[in-house]
Each structure stands twice: as structure tokens, then as C-alpha cells.
Structure 1
Amino acid sequence: MNARPRAAGAFAGSDMSPPCSGRTLFFFEKPSAMRQLQRFFRSPNTVCVAAEGHLLAAAEPGSIRPEWKPWRFDALPIVLATIPVSSGTNRSGQSHEPKIAAIRQALHGVERVIIATDPGREGSMIAWEVLEHLGWQGRVDRLKLGALDDVSIRRAFAALAKEPASGERDYAAYLEALCRQYEDYHLGLNGTRAISLRLRPPAFREPWRFGGVQTPTLAILADLEDRIRAFVPQDFFKVALHLGTRSGAALTLWHAPKERIVDAAVAETIRAAAAAWSGPLAVEHKDVRRAPPRLFSKDTLARRCAKRFGWDPQHTAGLAQDLYDQGFLSYPRTESEVLPEGQAADAATVIDAVASVLSDMRSVVSRDAVPLIRRGVRGHYVKDPGEHHAIVPLRKVPERGRLSADQFRLWELVAKAYLAAHLPDGIDARTSVAAEVGTPLGPKRFATSGSVVRAPGWRAVYGSEAEPEADLVPGKARREAEAPSARLPNVNDGEDASAARADIVTAMTEPPRRITRGELPVVMGRLIDQVDDPAVKRALENPVNPNEPKGLGTAATRDTILPKLLKSRYIALANGKDPAIEVTEVGLAFITAVRRVFPAYGDPVGRAMFEAELAEIGRAATRAEAVQRADAFRQRTRARLDELIAAISRSPAIDLDPSLIPPGQADDRPPTPAMRAFAVSLAARKGVTLPRGCKSSISVCRAFLDAHAGPRAQPEDSAGQPGQPRVPSAAMLGYARSLAAARGINCPPETETDFDACRRFLDAHAAAPQRGSGAPRSSGVKGQEPTERGKRRGRAARAPKEAAARRRA
């Protein structure tokens, strides 16, 4: 597969084959990584170049064919065999062309290219897309740098020497990334245009953005939103048995079964029996071992930082990337929470380095202590952790003053998790007290429990911070413990006790918890936790790597989904350190439209299965196999596009009350004077009150005008929407009203709803003289007629203003 159109004559005057010079070019993702490795290079035959992220950008449709620039339904689907690319720009807007030219020059005389970008599909794509764009056909190898400390770098070079086909396998990873881009480009382009032109409510002014990952992610949130809105609270009952023992101790036992008691009569029957109970207590003492939590993946680290610090996942990802670039953390864009068994020997050295910075850990981690290595499915070390292992600290440790406060907090969080993973289990002495009460409904168990810390184990790392909070499954309702915990008096097994009284306590069921900003990447990656059907759970399992079930998107891209959903106003964030995500009426309407037209794109599980098939491209053993799989994927993508456009063409637009459309986040500007005047006159004519903020917020003013004066025209002309008149803009209406007032006439009613009628009114009156001004205007000299030159000056002065007003209209 020719993944990209290659630059003609990139190696002019040659057959694009490298010379036998022995020179090697290292291709880095960024200059900071290049500087970390350059100290290892002594040979004059080594050349180093660094990109700056992606140097190439996909071409806009209008630059490929002019007829693709307007949004017209009859031009869809727009399908390309390959996506043309050109030089992109950096964050400052400067072109990457000089960098590409420098790489082109550096490739002359090179025999071998070693890609040393960040490990993973995106890193592979950053290098390969440039090499293919420049027409490179020589040998390519892949150096996988899981970390940028000296030991990790040497290990990466040793692994490279043992993998003669590393470039072939890396090309497969590049093709997978390229196919992901191919689908994203075509779905975003065709789906967004088609849905916006045909299904979007007329009052909604912005595009209805569509994407292969963001749409099923929104479906997860919308389904949860529906469950929350449909939730009806229900009372349920727990029975408390207050009793005294023969030794004089007093305690309370609870009957709170998993199958909640929802019948008050049943609760009363149990209470009455409990109130008359007496008998022996069953007391059990046992030690409960508590293993340390998993290490961090990119998503679980984002979740913990959101919970603890209130950080946006993108902020966490940026800090982790900075620490990786400086050689303080391992590669951060990982889905794994475990380490390879081969790194177990590093634990003592890394722990000692960490303790040299976190000096308070010296009391927890002794220099002579041997780190505890937990292996296997429930441990921290496994034979194959996947493409990348968990995020961990390295031998190279930071100085507190050299990092920002947030960078150090993140490093400390990861470092403490690593320390905890190599310390003994915590041990709790747990005591449970139970009584069996006979009732007319059968025997019922009443119980309570309590525990004390016998040995803190790994929890000593966290000290006064207490244990890390239990991570509940996002989107699920909280479950109460069957036997509430309490401080327990000394009670012996078999000790007699009798009831003092029994009470019924009424509680209320809670709706599912909303997914928070920090939890969304975890939900996308662990879709398996969101489904209850055992068959679906089995389908989402990943036989290749059981620790990483099938999900939506990749670790490198999940953080980008929430900003896209916010920009489209499909969701809104509540208040709080880690705000909950609420789906707006626009988001619900969008998902309803997608599922009505093409259900597959609104099915998160189906999408996860689809992405698992896409990942097979990257697992191809040879380049030929990867090319074959990529070609089949692109054909499938084109077929799905045809089906999508055909389905949309047969569907009507969604009806949505304009008042339910939330204001855009960036629409905090004041309305234009024309909009403000039109809103005031419209409110007076219709006898309605202007909403608060209508004169100060353009979004509020626009929503008011949409609700009372009709929506603005669609991006496509009336030919694309049969039977739907084109509506004049607020600027046109404002100009028409000002002209009418100046001329002392009334605007025809049709000018407010019909674009052509409003245009005709403007054309007829924009240059006409005002009423009562038929006499020639004075030149300023009494009794003197205006000269022809003065008339020309007047017309010249008025012309730009009238032209500008028409352009605005």
C-alpha cells in the first residue's frame, strides 16, 4: 500500500536507494529526546534529526478540489485513496517545511535509518510519514525507548541488535496508525457534513461533529444520562438490633441483605422478631491481607490526579510526558499496569534512588530490605506486560527545586505507588459479630464488623494520607456493605446476649453515579466494566493481553475526546474538583439521530470490537501482511461511508426546542448592535420579556432570536434542503430595520423570515433617498446648489458603508 503520495524527486538524480556509506541517521520525535541520546554517539557516521511532533498535516478537502469546499450533500461521500499531506505548522504557526528540508538533506548519503521516536503507533507514524513523503527506500530499524535513563537506553540498543526485522514490524504499527487517521479523516469529514446538513436541528448553528471514537463515547454517557433521568428513588429498609451481652457490653447488629427489603411489612415482621431475640453470638477473628494496588497506566494515573488534585487528564498527560522527556519516568502513554519480569532486578536500585529524594521514606524502606516481588496475574510482574509497561520512576531522580510543583507532585505519586508495590501486604485484624434471628420468614442474619491494623505494610508509604481511596466503577450506583463496620467492644464467641430493642431504618436507593472528567479515559479503556451481559463481557476480553480488554480509542488519544464533546456542546461539566459529565439535550438529540440512522456508530461495544480488528494491522508479522490488512480496512471504511450517507439521505431533521440548546463556551462576547436592536424590537412586537443577559451575551441573544424569529440559514443553500426557505441573518435584519427607520417606512413581514425578500428590500432602499429629502441638499453655502464634485464625494463617502453593510448581511 502506498500509504502516502510520495514527493516526486525527493532524491533527484538517484534511484532512491541508499549508498553503501555505513552512515546511520537517528530520527527522534523531539529535540529533548535527541539530546538525551546524543551523548551515546561517538561515530562520525551518525546523523541525528528531530521532528517536532507530526511535521505533516492532512490536506483540507477544498484544497484538493474546489468543489469540495462548500458543504453540499450531493458531493458526499468524499473519498480519497490516500490522504494528501503537506508541511504542517508548529504551535507558533511557523511552517515545518524547514525541518522537512533539513531531514531531506540529512538523508543524502545515509545507508540506514533508526527510528527513535516515542514508542507506540503515534511515534512510529511521526517518522514513517516523513520518510515515505521524502521517498526513502533504504533500511529502517526501530529503537524502542521505554525510558530515557542510561540503563533503559542501553537495554533498548541491546534489544535492537537482537531484532533484525524491527523495522518491518514497526511499519505495521505505522500502517495501523495511518488507518486510524484514514478513518478519522473520512468519518469526520463526511459524517459531520452529512449529519449537519440533513439531521441537525435548524436552530443549532454549529456543525454536528461526528467521529468514530467520540460518537460511541458520547453514547456511553448518553445511556448513563438516560438511566439517571429515568431513575425513580425507592425506599428500602434495614433493621437495627440493639443488644447487650452477659458481660455488660452493648453493640448494634444490622440486617441489611444484598436483596434489599422494600416491603415495610416484611421489615416490621423481622423487627418484631429481633426485638424479642436472645441467644449466643457468633464471633470470628481473622487476619485479612491487603495487597498493594496496581501500578499506574496513563488512564488510571489521570483518574487519581483528577481525584486528588483536580487536574484535567490532558494536564496530567503533559506533566508525565515532560517527566519522561527528562528521564525521570518511563513511557507514559501506556495502557498497562504491570511490569515485565525482567525488570524485577531493578527494584532495589530504583527504590534506593527514590528514597534519596523522599527522605521520609527511609523509615519505611530500609537499605538492607529486599524488595518483595509479586509475580503472576495478581502481581506486579508478568511475563508479557503488552506493548508498554506501567508508568514507574527510574534510577534517575529529580531534584525538588528543578521541577515545577505539579511535576514533582506527579513524580511523587508515581514513586510512592512503586514503593508500595514492593512492600509487604497490609494485615488487618478483622472481627465480625453475628446473630441468627428466627422470624416467621425464616432465619435472618444480623451482623457487624470492625477491624484494626495489625501491620500497615505498604500503607506506611502513605502515612497520614491514609490509604488510597477505593476506586468505584464509574457510572455505577454505590453499594452498601451488608454488615456495617463499627468500633466493637470485647465480645467472646458464644457469649449470650439479648435484645434491648430493634428499629427500622429507612434508606433510599441512589441513581447511578455520573462519570467524571478524570474517569472518562478509564471508562473508554475498560468498557468491560460498563456492561452486565456475561456474553458481552467475554467478547470484550483480550486473549492477547488479559490485562488490557478491548476498549475505545488508544491511550494516546482518549484525552482528546472530552474537549471535542465539550466544543460540540454535546456535554457540560458540573462543578467540583473532578467535575461530573452531564449530557446536554443537544448530545441526546445527536445520539438519537445517529442510532436512528446508523446504529453501528452509536454502539460502544461494536466499536470496541471494530477497533480490535483494526489493531490486528499493527500485529502483522511482515510488511506485506500489514499492507494487505490495511487495504482491506480502507475498503471496509469506504463501504461504511457509502452506507452512512445513504442512510442519512433518507432521514428527516431532528426537532429540538432552541431554548434547550446550551450556550457555546466561547460565546461570551456582547451581541452586535444590530442583534441587540433586533432583539429589543422583536420583544416589544411580540410582547415578551428579554431574557437576562440578552444585551450582554451574544449566545443568549442568539438563542432568543432563534426562538422568536426563526433559525439562521443552513450552511448548504436551499437546493440542498428542498422545501426549506433560507432565513436572513440577524445582521441583514438589523440593517433592514435601520433603513426602514431612516426612510420612515415599515419592513414587510416577509423580510424577517425570507432571505430573498430581505435582500430585495435592502437592494430597493439602501441607495434610495430618505422620505422628505427630494430637494437638493445644501453644500453648506446658503443659496448655492451642490456641485457635481460634491455629489461625487457624498456618493463616495456613502458607498463603502453601504457595501460593508451588505457584506455583513
Structure 2
Amino acid sequence: MADQIVITEKSSQAKDVRAAIGSRYGIVLPAEGHLIDLLEPEEVVPEWKRWSPILLKPDGLYGTRPAMGGNKAAKLKAIHEALRTATCVWLATDCDREGQLIGQEILEHYDYRGKVMRVLFTAQDSQTIRTAFSEARPNAEYARLYAAAVARRQADQIYNLSLTRTATVVLGRGGRGVIGVGRVKTPTLAIVCRRELEIRNFVPVTYFEVVATAKIASGEFKMRHAPQERILRRDVAEAVAAAAQGFEGPLGVRVEDKRQSPPRLHDLPSLQKLCSARFSWSAARTLEVAQELYDGQGKKIITYPRAEVRYLPESLIADVPRIVAGLQVGQSFRNIPVPTPPVIRRGASGTFHDKGLEGASHHAVIPNVNTVDTLREVWPRLSLDEKKLFDVIARAYLAALMPDFRYRQTTATLDVQGYAFKATGRQPIELGWRAAFPDWQPADEKGDGAALLPTLRDGEPARLHDPIVEAKETKPPPRYNEGTLIEAMQNAWRFVDDEVLRDRLKEAKGIGTPATRAEIIGGLKKQEFL
């Protein structure tokens, strides 16, 4: 038997690891997700077999036993046999908290006491894997990550089962069968219920705005009276319109040169939100496509997709020229004018920010530097959805390396007998990163604010004509789609009044994780709660 073994999270990962390192670090054995389960309550305390409204919390932690189903028993047996003679184990499971648990819980269950090294990779090509093994660290350095995973799992076992039994016994009374309660699932359902109640209880309010055409020496443009305190009576709006008809007065004109930084790089929640809005994908579909781009056979063209950080470490600045060059070989990205040298933004408002990665085990999702040179060969193998998602990720990366969008914002005001009329417009000076998104039109640049105004001078006379009263109506908040629901889960602190809990939820980045949120929503739909 080998004196070293490598444990991966799944068979496809084991295949990639074998291709990268052969048997240099011993035999490579895959898990199949969790190979170890927690004991059921009645296996710990026999009296807990009868359902009653009590807290199912044992003295100490719930013990563990081998998991059942699929090939789990066979895979666990192979690892257990290898552990008998192994003096060193290389844990090469996913780089997140759950990956740490999947690997280490096997060693803890069998009380393994040999040397353990932790291998962390955020891309799954051969070069990245070889580098990760050469830079492996003692697993003891990740004790806190493992403790966090154990705590999460124990909390789920205690509270999900205790509350499910309590809700079923006290509230169910045989009406619906089991009433499932989950530490993440139930608050997610509550967020949707809360929004539904807001919509059902919403009472629309009609209000009025006045729009008039302003004529100046160089042309005409629309001006609007839309006070912050809305006009709720039509007769008041009609009086404003009457005052505006034929009014002439001096314009107040303010011209400001402004700039806008590129959008942040993507993490999984931002990808799920964007793909839900743009492609009508479910959260699970976005993760599925991203996972295929990450570890699909003959692909591996993006970094680890289950990210919840939108920064990159400063060490990746060195990869910028190679990624840009690799992307610009392709027809889709060839004409995006990334400057030479690219714009490198550091710090909290930038792209490369080491401090912003503290406590995170992986960075924003970007093209894989080690496979970007193969894009031309890989592209024909990608499905249409895979091409769409890679396009989103690649454009965000290129945009982050381009100059700010610069524009001139003009605000014109006219005092009509005490009623303020206003027009705002912007004229691009330098497209900058906008050139990476030819179809870009953010929500805040639609409507009157995006109007092109004629050349205006401060103090020049303007004459209003053809005023119109527009009737508008307040609208309820929209229902969630899967993308916006994931964003709400991420920002769950907004629904909590207790300041300590709000701060804790902010620190924890909400409820659920990038890896589990799509599954939680899918589970609620499957159970017909949503």
C-alpha cells in the first residue's frame, strides 16, 4: 500500500489531479461529496425517537457515521483502507469551508494521526494544480475553517431538526404532514412572504408632474416640474402648467465633468443576479454553467465559481498582460480597446485589494490565466449558455482594466413663479470601460436624465410652451426573481432590527453560502413553499 494518498472532492477532480501530478503524491482517491454523516437524534438519545417540541442538543457534538447511497460506501472503503498505511495525506478538496469539511471529516472519523497537507486551488487546469501541490500548507493552519464548517453542520442538525419537530407537533396537528424548518430555508421563505404582504397591502397613490418644452436660441428641450413632495391634486398641477405656458426667464445652468469607475468583478451572487435578469436563468442554472466552465472536460477556462468576494489579490496583477492578450485573440473581445499598459486599480474602490480578501478562501471569478491561450480551441466545444456566461466574466475583467467613463453632466433649472423646472443631460467625453459593453444602458441612465441637451449658457433666456400634466401612480415593490432573492439573502441584515445581529449578518455576508443558496431556493420550490 502507498504511504501517501491524495483525497479529492469528486471523481472529475481526481481525474484532473491525476492528469496534473500522476502518482507523485501517492494514490489519488475521490470522495463523493460528504462521505460522513451525523448521527440521527434517536441514535444519540433513544428517547428522542418520539417527536416532541424539545431542543435536540446532545452533550458535546453529534457523532458521525459513514454515509449511505450512491457509491459513497465503496469510495469511503477505498480511502479507509489507504489510510491504514498512509503516513501523509494531501487534502485536495474544494478551497471553501465545505471542501475543508468534506476532506477532514473522513480523517477525524477514522482518527487519522499522520501528516496532513492542505492543497488549495482556485482553477482546475494542470499548471494551477501542480503549483497548488508545490505550495501546500500544513492542514493545521486551516483548523478555524474546519471548526466553522463543523459548527455550521452541528447548528443545522440541532436547530433544523428541533424546529421541524416542534412546528410539526405544535402547528401541524396532522394538517400538512411534516412542516420542514431550516436555518436558511425558513428565513428565505420569510423574506419572500414579507415582500408578498407588502405587495398585497400596497395602496397605489396617483400623483402629477408637469412637462414643458423650453425654447432657447440654439434649439428646444424638455423641462420637468417633479417636486420631492409629490403633487397629489390635478388642479394644483394644472395651476403649475398654466403658470408655465409662455413663461420666459433666465436659465440656471451648471456643467460638471464627472467620471464613473468600471463595475466590480463578479462573484457567484452577482453572476446569478445578472443572468437571472439578462437570460432568465435560475440561480442553479448559473452555477451549473459556471461549474462546467470551471472543471468541465477540455474547458477549465474560469477560476473557482463559488466566490463571494469581488476583489483579486495583488499577486494576480502579474497575470494581467497574459489574460488580456489571450482574450483579445478571440473575435468577441478583439476590438475592446484595453490600453497599454492596462489601468491597475488597487484598494477598496479598485480591483486588486488584499485586505478585501481577508477571511475569504477564493477571489472574484475571472478567466483562467493558464488556459486563456487555448480559448480558440476550446470555444467550439462550449454550449451557447457557456459562451454567454464566459462573455459576461471576460468583459467584466477587461472593463476593470480600462479607463474611467468620463462625461459632462449639464443641469438646467428655471424658476417659474416659484415652481422649479429642471432638465438634466449627459454628453460622453471618453467612453473608457463602456467600450467593453456596447449595449450598456444602466437603469439610472434611462429616461429624462439621459437626454441630449443643446448647448446651454448660464443666464440665457428660455421660453416655455406646450406644458402637459402627466398622471403617474406609485407602484408596489416587484416580486423577487431568483437573482434578486439571492441578493436579498446576501443582505439579510436589512430585515433585522437588532444592531448586534445586523452586524453579525453583515460580517457573515447574509444567510446561506454561494454554494448553497441556489439549492435552498430549489428546495423551497420543490416543497411547493414557493
Q: TM-score, normalised by structure 1?
A: 0.59
| Corresponding letter in the other structure for 1:236 | Y
Secondary structure of 2:21's aligned partner:
coil
CA contact (8 A) 2:328 2:335 kept: no
Percent sequence identity over aligned pairs? 33
Write out aligned runs for 1:522-561 (5 A). Answer: 522-528=487-493, 539=503, 550-561=509-520
**Which residue number corresponds to residue 409 of structure 2?**
430
2:423 equivalent in structure 1: 448
Cα pair 1:351 1:419 within 8 Å, conserved: yes
2:229 aligned partner = 259
1:348 pairs, out of 300, 306, 321, with: 321
Query: Does the residue aligned with 2:104 lie in a helix, a strand or coil?
Result: helix
1:96 to 48, 72, 82: 72
Match for 1:362: what amino acid?
R
- Equivalent position of 1:3 in the other structure: none
Aligned mates of 1:309, 1:43 — CA distance in 2:
43
Whether 1:125 aligns to 2:101 is: yes
| Counterpart code for 2:77 | A
Alignment of 1:99-178 (within 5 A): 99-150=75-126, 152-153=128-129, 155-157=131-133, 159-160=135-136, 163=137, 166-178=138-150
* 8 Å contact kept, 2:5–2:90: yes
Q: 1:529 to 1:241 in 2, by over 3 A?
A: farther
Cα separation, partners in 2 of 1:530 and 1:494, compared to 1, 3 Å: farther
Contact 2:258 2:407 in 1 (8 A): yes
Provide Cα deviations, 1:554-590, integer angstroms capped at 9, x if missing partner.
222212221232234332xxxxxxxxxxxxxxxxxxx
In the alignment, structure 1 residue 301 sits paired with structure 2 residue 271:
yes
Distance in 1 (CA, whole Å) between partners of 2:73 and 2:349 is 50
3-state SS of paired residue (1:301): helix
* Alpha-carbon spacing, 1:132–1:487, altered in 2? closer, same or farther (3 Å): same
1:360 corresponds in structure 2 to: 332
Structure 2: distance between partners of 1:59 and 1:200 = 26
The superposition leaves residues 764-792 of structure 1 with CA deviations (integer Å, 9 ceiling, x where unpaired) of xxxxxxxxxxxxxxxxxxxxxxxxxxxxx
By how many angstroms is 1:51 displaced?
Answer: 1.1
> What is the aligned length?
518
Give the distance between the partners of 1:530 and 1:448, measured in 2 at CA.
36
Change (3 A) 1:243 1:359: closer
Distance 1:297 1:383 in 2: 16
Q: Which residue of 1 aligns with 2:522?
A: 563
- 1:56, 1:86 within 8 Å by CA — same for their partners in 2? yes
Write out per-residue CA displacement over residues 354-374 of structure 1, whole angstroms, 9 at most, x where no aligned residue: 222x323222246x8222111
Which of 175, 186, 193 aligns to 1:222? It is 193
Deviation readout 1:50-83 (Å, 9 max, x if unpaired): 212112234445666776555x327x44444443
1:493 paired residue among 430, 451, 458 = 458
- Code of the residue aligned with 2:514 in structure 1: it is A
Q: In 2, distance between residues paired with 1:407 and 1:33?
A: 20
Q: What amino acid does structure 1 have at the position aligned with 2:191?
A: I
Q: Is the 8 A contact 2:426 2:449 kept in 1?
A: no
Instruction: Give the conservation status (yes or no) of the 8 Å contact 2:209–2:225.
Output: yes
Report if the CA contact (8 A) 1:61-1:69 is conserved.
yes
Q: Deviations over 1:402-442 (max 9, x none)?
A: 22332232222211211111112223343332212232xxx
> What is the alpha-carbon distance in structure 2 between the residues aligned to residue 49 and residue 292 of structure 1?
43
> What SS is found at the alignment partner of 2:305?
coil
CA offset digits 1:657-702 (Å, max 9, x no partner): xxxxxxxxxxxxxxxxxxxxxxxxxxxxxxxxxxxxxxxxxxxxxx
Alpha-carbon displacement from aligned partner over 1:74-103 (angstroms, at most 9, x marks no partner): 7x44444443444334xxx53422211111
Secondary structure of the residue that 2:33 maps to in structure 1? coil
Question: SS of 1:101's equivalent?
Answer: helix
The whole-number CA distance in structure 1 between the counterparts of 2:71 and 2:440 is 49
**Post-superposition offset of 1:389:** 0.8
Residue 181 in structure 1 maps to residue 153 in structure 2: yes
Q: How far 1:220 moved relative to its partner?
A: 1.9
Instruction: Tell me, yes or no, if the aligned pair for 1:429 and 1:453 is still in contact at 8 Å.
Output: yes
CA contact (8 A) 1:208 1:568 kept: no
Deviations 1:588-646 (A, max 9, x none): xxxxxxxxxxxxxxxxxxxxxxxxxxxxxxxxxxxxxxxxxxxxxxxxxxxxxxxxxxx
Structure 2 Cα separation of the partners of residues 301 and 462 of structure 1 = 16
Letter paired with 2:414: A
Higher strand share: 2
Structure 1 residues 43 and 497: alpha-carbon distance in aligned structure 2, compared to 1, 3 A threshold: closer
Partner of 1:196: 168
On the 8 A contact 2:17/2:28 being kept in 1, the answer is: no
Aligned partner of 1:328 among 272, 286, 301: 301
Give distance in 2, aligned partners of 1:277 and 1:504: 16
**Aligned pair 1:270/2:240, yes or no?**
yes
- Which residue pairs with 1:677 in the alignment? none
CA displacement, residues 218-268 of structure 1 (integer Å, 9 cap, x when unaligned)? 2222222222221111111212233322x2623221011333233445434
Equivalent residue for 1:315, pick from 271, 274, 285: 285
> 2-side partners of 1:376 and 1:264: how far apart?
51
Residue identity matched to 2:101: M
User: Match for 2:368 among 377, 391, 394?
Assistant: 394
- Residues 1:281 and 2:251 aligned together: yes
**Cα distance in structure 2, aligned partners of 1:432 and 1:486:** 11
Rounded Cα–Cα distance in structure 1 between residues aligned with 2:39 and 2:461: 82
Q: Which residues of structure 2 form unaligned runs of 5+? A: none
Q: Identify the residue that residue 27 of structure 2 maps to in structure 1.
A: 47
Alignment check: 8 A CA contact 1:528 1:549 kept:
no
Residue 518 of structure 1: SS of its match in structure 2?
helix
* C-alpha spacing 1:540/1:69, structure 2 compared with 1 (3 Å): closer
Using the alignment, how far apart are the partners of 1:201 and 1:304 within structure 2?
Answer: 42
How far residue 521 of structure 1 moved from its aligned partner, in angstroms, is: 1.5
Aligned counterpart, 2:484:
519
* Aligned-residue offset at 1:38: 3.1
Residue 798 of structure 1 corresponds to none
- 1:675-714 alignment runs, 5 A limit: none
Structure 1: gaps of 5 or more residues: 1-20, 473-478, 543-547, 572-809
- Number of the residue aligned with 2:5: 25
Q: Residue type matched to 2:462 in 1?
A: A
SS in 2 for 1:515: coil
CA 1:218–1:480 in structure 2 vs 1: closer, same or farther (change >3 Å)? farther
How far off is 1:151 after superposition?
Answer: 5.0
SS of aligned partner of 1:173? helix
Is contact 1:28-1:117 (8 Å) kept? yes
- Equivalent residue for 1:701? none
**CA–CA separation in structure 1 for the residues paired with 2:401 and 2:495:** 31
Partners of 1:140 and 1:109 in 2: CA distance = 14
Task: Say which SS state the counterpart of residue 254 (structure 1) adopts.
Answer: strand
Alpha-carbon distance in 2 for matches of 1:299, 1:44: 37
Q: Partner letter of residue 200 of structure 1?
A: G
Contact preservation (8 Å) 1:87, 1:97: yes
Does the 8 A contact of 2:2 with 2:82 survive in 1?
no
